[in-house]
Amino acid sequence: MIELHNLTCLYGRRPAVHHVSGRFETGTMTAIVGPNGAGKTTLMRTLAGLHSDFEGRVVRHGRIGLLPQTPSLDKAFPITAAEVVAMGGIAGLGPLGAAPSAARVGEALHSVGMSGFERRLVGTLSAGQFQRLLFARLTLQDAPVMLLDEPFAAVDARTTADLMRLLHRWHDEGRTIVAVLHDLDLVAREFPRTLLLARDKIAWDRTAVALSPEHRLRARLTAEAWVDDPALCQDAA
């Protein structure tokens, strides 16, 4: 579970996410949606502990795995698919831990439909194959909470469907899934709960409720009222 208590995420005291409270309950599957500039990625980075300029509280129960929107991996670097996946297991090691075995790496690749790609250089992979690789790496983190920022960007419908099946498998195992998404049809079809964000929390509820026409209109009108240089957050002084 992750709890948010009056959370305001800031850039130099200027709010990117404004006074959001609520919780991602254990074992739930939640989409975060909203207009461009709504603060979705900033919120995700804050949940993961990567954005420290905030007011309020974030309470995390359990280890967190993250699939970032822009992975810090140079595809021109001569690294193999197996080595990239193994990084996921290394990220979760304790001081006495061992690197993941080749068998575990192979199982992770198999889970995303990439058996036999162990020795392929990442620079030779298509966009869809590379995204599958990142999912395999996330699998080895074996965290009870999985955060995914735009996990289906720039991939085809087949890849999206395959990776959605993996998300559902994680959810069936009792993991908490939180994903930033743009495809509202996909959200309505696949995600039971949704946080509709427009810097402020517009709705955080069952998806059918959160994405009601009234809430979507409010999010759009809120976004249209934004200015390029928002006022300082007086509550974050």
CB 201 within 8 Å of CB 5: no
* Residues 13-57: tens digit of each pLDDT: 678 899 999 999 999 999 999 998 888 999 999 999 888 889 999
Tell whether 227 is covered by a domain: yes
Q: What pTM was computed for the model?
A: 0.86
pLDDT value of position 231: 57
Residue 168 · residue 159 · CB < 8 Å:
no
Q: 50 lies in a domain?
A: yes
Is residue 83 in a domain?
no
CATH number at residue 234: 3.40.50
- Round to whole Å and give the CA distance between 47 and 232: 22
Identify whether the C-beta of residue 222 lies closer than 8 Å to the C-beta of residue 202: yes
Extended strands (E) in the chain? 2-11, 14-24, 29-33, 54-60, 64-67, 145-149, 176-180, 193-198, 200-206
pLDDT tens per residue across span 98-114: 677 888 898 999 999 88
Between 194 and 81, the higher pLDDT residue: 194
Average pLDDT in the chain: 87
CA–CA distance, 194 with 216 (Å, rounded to integer): 12
Sorting pLDDT into bands at 50, 70 and 90, what band is 229? low
CB 67 within 8 A of CB 151: yes
Does 103 fall in a domain? no
User: In whole angstroms, what is the distance from residue 61 CA to residue 145 CA?
Assistant: 9
Tell me which residue range forms the domain holding 226: 1-62+185-237
Domain count, the chain: 1
The answer as to whether 126 is a domain residue is no
pLDDT for position 90:
62
> In sequence order, which residues have a C-beta less than 8 Å from that of residue 149 and are 6 or more positions away?
40, 41, 44, 66, 67, 68, 69, 179, 180
Q: Using one digit for the tens of pLDDT, what is the confidence trace for 158-199?
A: 989 999 999 999 999 999 999 999 999 999 999 999 999 998
Task: Check residue 235 and give its pLDDT.
Answer: 52
Task: Report yes or no on 221 lying in a domain.
Answer: yes
109 found inside a domain: no
Crossing angle, helix 81-91 and helix 102-111, to 10 degrees?
A: 110
Q: Is residue 73 in a domain?
A: no
Residue 94: pLDDT band with limits 50, 70, 90: very low
Structure tokens at 41: 């990625």
Rounded-to-integer distance, Cα 113 and Cα 163, Å: 9
